[in-house]
Chain A
Amino acid sequence: MEILKQPWPWYVAGALIGLIVPALLILGNKHFGISANLRHACAACFPANIPFFKYEWKKEIWNFFFVAGIIAGAFIAARFLANPAPMEVHTNLVTELNTYGINDYSQMMPAEIFSFKSLFTLRGFIMLVVGGFLVGFGTRYAGGCTSGHAIMGLSNLQVPSLVATISFMAGGFIMANLILPFILRL
């Protein structure tokens, strides 16, 4: 039990995530992917006669069940398997974040950004609302996210998925190193 409560090493997590690929294929011919759920949500709730959302979303209902499982699993892990110790973070990052007034390491995410109080500040609004919009718009434009392209697509040796994965990483590096310092200073 104590081992379960410690943060799990990358090779355990990576191997388990990799095994989701064959598990979904063998259980029912499903290709690993999550961001499509956002599209199915649009198709189910507000199709608005847009061709991109006019399809039989009920055929993709397995993906909602998959996400419901993720929600349940995350709840179980956070509730019963949580690591009580504060986050261990690289000292350079701690120093940098300190200059933006971010010092909360008690949880996985800093309350200075991820709280309702922060949402109503300019910084919090950009981080949460604009950030979320880019995730939704970008993954659909790219045709997949980290699971659909970086894991499922690369597992099937697809060059377009490699292009997408490199673009994800490039975007992340540009944002984190060149743009985020200005946003976090707001």
Chain B
Amino acid sequence: MNDRVIITPDQVKLKSPVIVMDTDFEVRSLDTMCINESVQQHPWWYNFKYAAVGVLFGIVFVKAEIISWFRIQEMFRLQSFHMYGVIGTAVVVGVISVWLIKKLKVKTIYGEDIPFHPKKFNKGQIIGGLMFGFGWAMTGACPGPLFAQIASGFFVVVVVLLSAIAGTWVYGFFRERLPH
């Protein structure tokens, strides 16, 4: 685990005046995507803005048939360009967006800087990546579409979701003993 800590406590102290949060920050940064800290404290209902973005995402998932098991099967058999087009366009738009944010030093709506953190390579990205690929081709779902499949009426997918949560838990349990 020692080699997996991305940011040392000393660096954290420089970045964050709140020293109490150090250990939590480390655990969170292990591989949770979002480690940007904010000094702002907002009421809980401010989170509804993320729900609004999610609504758009959910509609796109269904309307572009990204949640369809058939589209995923076509993708992995090179029978359709659709999914490659979706992911490819999203990456291009994302790359341009992140480049513009860095270049123009765009700030959040609260005037805070937007930092980016490099990801560290570890073997999990290959081994875990292959395992996720297997599951993706079987269920036709990555974690986002999983929720959209349930909401569009496939209630049996709740079982897939619970199984995915169980998989995450089992990973957490064996984490120290797995190659990284």
Question: Which A residues fall within an 8 A CB radius of B?
Answer: 4, 7-39, 41-42, 46, 48, 50-56, 59-63, 65-78, 81-82, 87, 89-90, 92-93, 97, 105, 107-110, 113-116, 118-119, 126-161, 163-177, 179-180, 183
Contacts and interface: CB of A to CB of B under 8 A. Distances in A.
A150 B139 CA distance: 18
Closest 10 CB pairs of A and B: A171-B133, A69-B54, A73-B58, A14-B89, A18-B93, A141-B128, A167-B129, A136-B167, A10-B85, A138-B132
B50 A28 contact: yes
A135 B166 CA distance: 10
How many B residues touch the partner, as a band? Answer: 35 or more
A29 B63 CA distance: 28
A30 B39 CA distance: 14
A140 B128 contact: yes
Contact of A135 (B53, B67, B93, B164): B164
Nearest to B66: A13
Contacts of A129: 159-160, 163
Given A8-B64, A11-B89, A135 B167 contact: yes
B129 A128 contact: no
Give the dominant DSSP class at B's interface.
Answer: helix
Contact of B135 (A109, A113, A131): A131
B111 to A, nearest CB: 11
Contacts of A148: 33
Contacts of B151: 70-75, 78
